[in-house]
Amino acid sequence: MNKQSTEYHAARAFAWLLYVIAAIWLAISASWWAFSRADYGYPFWYEQMAISQHIDTYAPQHPVKRGFAQLPPEQHHRAFAQIVEAVHRRGTQLEDIHFVAPGYPVQRLLTTAEVRHLEDVRRLLAMAAWATVLVVPAWLLAALVLARRGLPGRAARITAVALLSGAAIVPLLVWGPKAVFYQLHVALFPADNQWFFYWQESLMSTLMKAPVLFAGIAVEITLLALLLLPLLYCGGLLLARRLLEKK
């Protein structure tokens, strides 16, 4: 195989790898967006994870806020929905989220540290949204290259998929999901801003039964993303071929 042929195959392999990574990103982004519009299925997880009982146990131990455990499930659902709305910039302000428990005055749901953390989350999601805007043309460009030059060999594709899968799965197997979850927080959030909250000291953390709820959300996002991925993969190549045919 001469140098020109090697460069040709390397370009195809790179384009395919870029295309697959872009398709995975878009599948996860679309899945995340869809579930965010449905409050991540919180009412379902509320029942499945016995969050009501969790709130009954830990909310009364909060050093300042009172009566949150006395609220009906629908108000717990609403509190979570308001947090989602605020984090995704859909009108609600984090500082304005309150609850009214029988026999107590109006109370803010979130502490200053919790608001600061959720603002960090909001900024991170905004950055991810802008990244998605950039990924779309990269996905289409890679699809056009593949439609023109063809896919790399099966062995190369299997190897690339194995490497990508290993990069995602091995850390979970070696260190465990919880350790990976915490390490991601260390890496992604400002060092001076609190991101870990004990259930006894945080209605936000109690409401979410963190990090247990996040595991359920990760599963639902992943499952929908796996369903969307073949559509994005095949659809992008089909779109690219049609665009080339028009030229």
pLDDT digits 0-9 by tens, 99-119: 999 999 999 999 999 999 999
- 19-43 tens-digit pLDDT: 999 999 999 999 999 999 999 999 9
Cα–Cα dist 133/19, whole Å:
15
Per-residue model confidence (pLDDT) at position 174: 85
Residue that wins the pLDDT comparison between 13 and 126: 126
- 67-86 tens-digit pLDDT: 999 999 999 999 999 999 99
- 136-190 tens-digit pLDDT: 999 999 999 999 988 888 887 888 788 888 888 888 888 888 888 888 888 889 9
List the structure tokens of 136: 């779309």
Which residues are CB-contacts of 55 (< 8 A; sequence separation ≥ 6)? 68, 69, 76, 206, 207
Buried b (16+ CB within 10 A) or exposed e, 87-114: bbeeebebeebebebeeeeebbbbbeeb
DSSP state of 66: -
